[in-house]
């Protein structure tokens, strides 16, 4: 009840650190009985202890993507998809290789697809501001991100398929059926507890939506599915994995990521906006007026601002691992013994806002934090991708295969904003999975 209603996530973990005087603590994590066989975990809540969760020699990652419970495989075509596989399982290597090859084969599509879809979004923002003095970014982003991903990954617009404009709604419904044990919809506690946090919602209620999404992927991802067969994956298993990676990981990520970045940059104020404008427009002018990878690489402040947003508001906040053997975990102050089979849990914002690493401004948005040589040294403590920002995803680890794409998309949003506007203002609130942002003005 503290976690969902009385304290909220941040305070739930911070208050226990204060209570026990330690950043490594034994606690229960939601959801409780009936859903999770065992809610007991050892929580690692500082920058030093947290990376044990990335070390696949020390921790097993099998069936731990959502933590102490696992959604029914009926939601994923009967398959355990890549996110639930340990790197030691042969299918993990094949699926991750498939995702790498998909991203590599479409690398030239990402920038033009993003610019096309998000310039349309900003045109809509402007017309809504004229009509009603405000514009809800989240609503527009939900529809735009879904279209962008289909276009960028497969070259097929979801809206031009049988899905029409229903894709984002079907996707959101399917996501909720997997994440409902961890969220609150803002309903009265007496309704939410039995409905969301006691037993799993029946997958049959979302099977029609899932079939419609699957049909789109099976038709749109023909080339990727051909590649999958070459890697030794069956076509249907590959398609369920592509659907999960695209809708849960990519789309679910962008639903949280882009409003989070926008909110932080809105809050940074006009002086910071002016610095971004100067950097972005100069780099694009040097590239002959084009937004290229080379131009983006020159935008050091833009990169830093996106990393800072990812540090403060990682799209996925929870990480888990099961100890493969008896081990010791070190925090800044002590060493803790964990027994083989013990469940380790990390609440990432506690680790990436660690004042022992980021100093007195650890909880604040400092847009230029990662600029320059000293700033770049701090990147090893940015963990949003289920690994250090200074490391790369591979078939042997559980780091996000789209790590570099996510940072690219975040930068592209900032670039699109400041090629178009000198400054903007927005109201920031709370949304189901993250931050809610409403534009109130653009200049």
**Average pLDDT for 362-384:** 97
For the stretch 237-272, pLDDT in tens is 999 999 999 999 999 999 999 999 999 999 999 999
**Average pLDDT for 389-412:** 97
pLDDT at residue 340 in the model? 98
Q: What are phi and psi of 30, to 5 degrees?
A: -65, 160
pLDDT at residue 280 in the model? 98
Tell me what the pLDDT averaged over the chain comes to: 96
Q: Give the separation between CA 357 and CA 117, rounded to whole angstroms.
A: 38
Joined together, the tokens standing for residue 149 give 């991903």
pLDDT exceeds cutoff 90 at 314: yes
Q: Give the separation between CA 19 and CA 17, rounded to whole angstroms.
A: 6
Question: Cis before residue 124, ω within 30 degrees of 0?
Answer: no
CB atoms within 10 A of CB 287: 15
Per-residue exposure over 236-266, b if at least 16 CB sit within 10 Å of its own CB, e if not? ebbbbbbbbbbbbbbbbbbbbbbbbbbbbbb
243 three-class SS: helix
pLDDT-derived band at 186 (thresholds 50, 70, 90) equals confident
* Residue whose C-alpha is closest to residue 441's, from 157, 130, 182: 130
pLDDT exceeds cutoff 80 at 306: yes
pLDDT at residue 386 in the model? 96
For the stretch 32-80, pLDDT in tens is 888 998 999 999 999 999 999 999 999 999 999 999 999 999 999 999 9
* Residue whose C-alpha is closest to residue 273's, from 435, 437, 129, 415: 415
| Angle at alpha carbon of residue 403, lines to 400 and 409, rounded to 5° | 135
* Bridge partners, 430 (sequence order): 435
Q: Give the separation between CA 75 and CA 206, rounded to whole angstroms.
A: 8
Q: Report the percentage of the chain scoring pLDDT > 90.
A: 97
pLDDT-derived band at 293 (thresholds 50, 70, 90) equals very high
Full set of structural domains in the chain with CATH: 1-442 (1.10.630.10)
Q: How far is CA 358 from CA 5, 223, 268, 379, in A?
A: 29, 45, 18, 11
For the stretch 327-368, pLDDT in tens is 999 999 999 999 999 999 999 999 999 999 999 999 999 999
pLDDT exceeds cutoff 80 at 433: no
CB atoms within 10 A of CB 70: 18
| pTM assigned to the model | 0.96
pLDDT-derived band at 416 (thresholds 50, 70, 90) equals very high
For the stretch 121-180, pLDDT in tens is 999 999 999 999 999 999 999 999 999 999 999 999 999 999 999 999 999 999 999 999
Task: Kindly provide the residue ranges of all beta strands, DSSP E only, lying in 102-235, ordered along the sequence.
Answer: 135-136
- Contacts of range 215-220, beta carbons closer than 8 Å, 24 or more positions apart: 215/161, 215/162, 216/150, 216/156, 216/158, 216/161, 216/162, 216/163, 216/167, 217/154, 217/242, 217/243, 217/246, 219/156, 219/161, 220/150, 220/154, 220/155, 220/156, 220/158, 220/161
Tokens 């904003």 belong to 417
For the stretch 225-237, pLDDT in tens is 999 999 999 999 9
């Amino acid at each position: 009840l503290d976690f969902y209603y009385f304290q909220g996530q941040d305070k739930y973990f911070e208050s226990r650190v204060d209570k026990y005087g330690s950043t490594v603590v034994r606690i229960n994590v939601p959801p409780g009985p009936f859903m999770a066989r065992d809610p007991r975990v050892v929580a690692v809540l500082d920058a030093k202890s947290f990376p044990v969760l990335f070390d696949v020699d020390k921790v097993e990652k099998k069936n731990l993507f959502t933590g102490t419970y696992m959604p029914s495989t009926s939601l994923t075509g009967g398959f355990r998809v890549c996110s639930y596989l340990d790197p030691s399982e042969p299918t993990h290597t094949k699926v991750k290789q498939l995702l790498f090859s998909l991203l590599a084969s479409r690398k030239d599509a990402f920038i033009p697809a993003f610019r096309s879809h998000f310039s349309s979004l900003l045109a809509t923002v402007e017309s809504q501001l004229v009509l009603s003095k405000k514009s809800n970014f989240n609503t527009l982003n939900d529809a735009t991100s879904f279209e962008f991903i289909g276009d960028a990954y497969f070259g097929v617009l979801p809206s031009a398929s049988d899905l029409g404009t229903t894709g984002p709604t079907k996707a959101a419904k399917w996501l909720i059926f997997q994440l409902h044990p961890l969220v609150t919809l803002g309903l009265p506690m007496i309704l939410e507890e039995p409905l969301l946090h006691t037993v799993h919602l029946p997958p049959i209620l979302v099977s029609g939506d899932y079939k419609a999404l699957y049909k789109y992927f099976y038709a749109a991802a023909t080339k990727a599915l051909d590649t999958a067969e070459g890697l030794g994956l069956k076509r249907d298993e590959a398609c369920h994995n592509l659907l999960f990676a695209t809708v849960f990981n990519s789309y679910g990520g962008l639903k949280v990521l882009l409003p989070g970045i926008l909110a932080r940059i809105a809050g940074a104020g006009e002086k910071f906006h002016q610095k971004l404008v100067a950097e972005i427009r100069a780099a694009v002018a040097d590239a002959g007026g084009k937004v290229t990878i080379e131009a983006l690489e020159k935008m050091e402040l833009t990169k830093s601002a996106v990393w800072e947003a990812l540090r403060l508001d990682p799209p996925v906040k929870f990480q888990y691992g099961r100890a493969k053997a008896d081990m010791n975990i070190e925090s800044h102050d002590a060493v803790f013994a964990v027994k083989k089979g013990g469940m380790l849990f990390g609440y990432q914002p506690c680790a990436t806002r660690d004042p022992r690493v980021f100093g007195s401004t650890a909880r604040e948005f400092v847009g230029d934090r990662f600029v320059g040589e000293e700033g770049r040294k701090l990147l090893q403590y940015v963990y949003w991708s289920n690994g250090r920002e200074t490391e790369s995803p591979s078939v042997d680890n559980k780091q996000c295969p789209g790590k570099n794409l996510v940072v690219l998309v975040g930068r592209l949003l900032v670039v699109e904003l400041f090629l178009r506007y000198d400054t903007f203002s927005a109201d920031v609130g709370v949304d189901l999975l993250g931050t809610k942002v409403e534009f109130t003005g653009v200049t």
